[in-house]
Amino acid sequence: MENYIDKKKIFFASIIIIALKSIFFFTKHIQEDALISWRVARNIIEYGVYGYNGVEKISASTTHLYVFVGVIFQTIFGEGNFIYPLLIFNTILLTIGIYWLGKLLLNSTTRIILFIFFVSFLPPAIKMSILGMEFGMLFFFYIALMKFGFVERKKWAFVLLPILILWTRIDTCIFLGLLFIYDVIQQRKWNTALMIGGILAVLSVVSFNWFYFGEIVNNTITSKRDNYPSLEFQDRLEAIKFFTPNYFGIIKFPTSIFNFSTPLFFIVSAISMLFLFKKWGENKKKVLAFLFIFGFIKSLIFGYANAWFDWYFWIPQLVLFIPIILIVLDSNKFKTYSLVYFILIFIPFTAYQAVHSIATGHGEWNHARKIGLYLDSIEKDKDKYIFLEPAGYIPYFSKLKVIDYVGLVDKRLTEEKIVENGIGIGFSNLINKAKPEYILEDFKPMFKGELVDKSIYEDYELIKEFKIADVAKSDNPILDKIYKFKPSGRDFYLYKRKSVTE
């Protein structure tokens, strides 16, 4: 077995892998939530305020650190040119994290290169690179803490990295808490440095939220808690069954018929890990076991919490699938097994993600973005408000001020207590108070005619319809099949407040 690690060869191989993966950038598949973070970053540049609508302070993004990274990239490259440099930056960080993990678990140049290649093209790893969100950076921090802290026992890593991790996402407290418990069990003593790092992380984030925004946790968390209906225990179990492809499945098929892939991949991965444990040393086993435990527990927690958005599960999906790749690469016949993996798993998974990204990117870039550009062209007063959902593409490109149906970017909806009072009353009260110039809805008539205050329907008129069927087509026969196989987006109806004659 080769023991010498040729870092130069790995470096150039990683550049080629990043270049190959960058082809996915052309799908223009960007997640809505990335555009929220980027707009908050833009708001800091233009108004000097961490907010979403001008000078109003609000923690509308889920990630403070990534917002500040967005400020740096928009300042350097400009508002219109920063996206691809930022995506490449995310991809580089993710690739470094994968390399560090590969080096912890494998001991030959060829195997590490194949590990980087195979992991980098798993669907969640592709999404962590191209969708513009903070998870590539977060994975980098996670593995950095595992490498420099958990394995190499460097105190600076235990103190500094938890701060960076918690500033990236508040839900990373799950990772940090589990790592602390796991480390105490492994070392049989308290990890003082990690305790200090965790305490400083919590104090710094909470202090920033409190002194800047006047709140303990991000508004995004508060608004989802207050404005999403709470489910009973049985309903949560049913939802877990329905959304299982998010939790343990590496890919999501269009129908639940294929949900057998969820337990199948999980069971194969667990069996692979057990086989690896029989011949691995303690350090390797400790790293792999912790990542597997973390992926499993976080999936259960977020599954029970009905966190339906699949980006919550990207890193768990990745770490839960990695034992399958490792069982291929750790074998004495790894070249033969790698070829089998390439044919049976790599090609189908990559093809699936390509179809998904082409369809979704087309729908969002050429449907939602164009709605935003249309609004930008017809409304020059950027102090006017639009009431809509979601607060991603359309607000970003329209540059209008926004109230969203969940209250992520404007707190007034939360004040109306829509779960307690009902949407009909809550939305009616909000519209009467805020008087948004525009309402963008996916129903005709507006809100299905369910607003309690019927006079609102007389105050607004339908000015334009945006049909997804007009976008989900192409002169290219292959693209046309993809767009029709997975149409991305929905019909929208734009209502404008009628002019009031004095």
Q: Which two tokens stand for residue 352?
A: 């699936």
Going 174 to 177 to 179 to 185, the CA torsion angle's sign is negative
Q: Report whether 357 contacts 133 (CB < 8 A).
A: no
For residue 407, give the nearest of 52, 67, 134, 65 by alpha carbon: 52
Amino acid 317 reads Q
Which residue has better confidence, 92 or 225? 92
Q: Is the pLDDT of residue 251 over 60?
A: yes
Q: Report whether 173 contacts 166 (CB < 8 A).
A: yes
In sequence order, the β-bridge partners of residue 403 are: 387
SS3 of 380-425: the string is CCCCCEEEECCCCHHHHHHCCEEEECCCCCCCHHHHCCHHHHCHHH
Range in 257-271, 287-301, 366-380 the model is least confident about: 257-271
Q: Report whether 166 contacts 58 (CB < 8 A).
A: no
Q: In the prediction, which pLDDT does 237 show?
A: 64
Q: Is the pLDDT of residue 243 over 60?
A: no
Q: What's the CA gap between 133 and 200, in Å, rounded?
A: 25
For residue 27, what pLDDT band results from cuts at 50, 70 and 90? very high
Arithmetic mean of pLDDT, 337-366: 92
Burial class (CB in 10 A: 0-12, 13-18, 19+), 278: exposed
Q: End-to-end CA distance of the chain, in Å?
A: 85
Convert the pLDDT of each residue in 480-499 to its tens digit.
Answer: 888 877 777 789 999 999 98
Q: Is the pLDDT of residue 258 over 50?
A: no
Range in 3-17, 33-47, 220-234, 363-377 the model is least confident about: 220-234
For residue 116, give the nearest of 20, 26, 31 by alpha carbon: 20
For residue 497, which phi and psi values (nearest 5 degrees)? -65, 130
Range in 11-15, 224-228, 340-344 the model is least confident about: 224-228
Question: 388: helix, coil or strand?
Answer: strand
In sequence order, the β-bridge partners of residue 402 are: 386
Q: Is the pLDDT of residue 305 over 80?
A: no
Rg, Å, the chain Cα set = 24
Q: What's the CA gap between 249 and 252, in Å, rounded?
A: 7
Q: Is the pLDDT of residue 334 over 50?
A: yes
Strand order across the beta sheet in which 460-466 lies:
401-404, 385-388, 438-441, 492-497, 460-466
Q: In the prediction, which pLDDT does 489 show?
A: 78
Q: Report whether 293 contacts 182 (CB < 8 A).
A: yes
Q: In the prediction, which pLDDT does 470 show?
A: 86
Portion of the chain with pLDDT greater than 90, in percent: 67
Arithmetic mean of pLDDT, 194-207: 96
Question: 460: helix, coil or strand?
Answer: strand
Range in 13-17, 21-25, 60-64, 68-72 the model is least confident about: 60-64
Q: What's the CA gap between 248 and 230, in Å, rounded?
A: 24
In sequence order, the β-bridge partners of residue 177 are: none
Q: Is the pLDDT of residue 143 over 90?
A: yes
Pairing of strands 460-466, 492-497: antiparallel
In sequence order, the β-bridge partners of residue 460 are: 497
The mean pLDDT of the chain is: 89
Question: What is the CA 389 to chain-centroid distance, rounded?
Answer: 17
Q: In the prediction, which pLDDT does 500 show?
A: 60
Q: Report whether 329 contacts 114 (CB < 8 A).
A: yes
Highest mean pLDDT among 194-203, 313-322, 462-471: 194-203
Angle at 149 between CA 144 and CA 155, to 5 degrees: 125
Peptide bond just before 263 cis, omega within 30 deg:
no
**What dihedral angle (degrees, nearest 10) is formed by the CA atoms of 402, 406, 409, 413?**
80
Q: In the prediction, which pLDDT does 245 show?
A: 47
Q: In the prediction, which pLDDT does 256 show?
A: 47
Q: In the prediction, which pLDDT does 449 show?
A: 87
For residue 233, what pLDDT band results from cuts at 50, 70 and 90? low
Q: What's the CA gap between 411 and 35, in Å, rounded?
A: 19
Q: What's the CA gap between 82 and 79, in Å, rounded?
A: 6
Convert the pLDDT of each residue in 111-141 to its tens digit.
Answer: 999 999 999 999 999 999 999 999 999 999 9
Q: In the prediction, which pLDDT does 406 show?
A: 87
Q: Where are the alpha helices (DSSP H) in 106-229?
A: 109-120, 123-130, 135-144, 155-168, 173-187, 192-208, 219-227
DSSP assignment letter at 455: T
List Cβ neighbours of 99 (8 Å cut-off, separation of 6 or more).
10, 14, 112, 116
Where do we find the tokens 């890990």? 273
Q: In the prediction, which pLDDT does 236 show?
A: 63
Q: In the prediction, which pLDDT does 253 show?
A: 55
Range in 252-261, 263-272, 316-325, 434-443 the model is least confident about: 252-261
For 204, other C-beta atoms within 10 Å of its C-beta total 14
List Cβ neighbours of 79 (8 Å cut-off, separation of 6 or more).
42
Q: Is the pLDDT of residue 501 over 50?
A: no
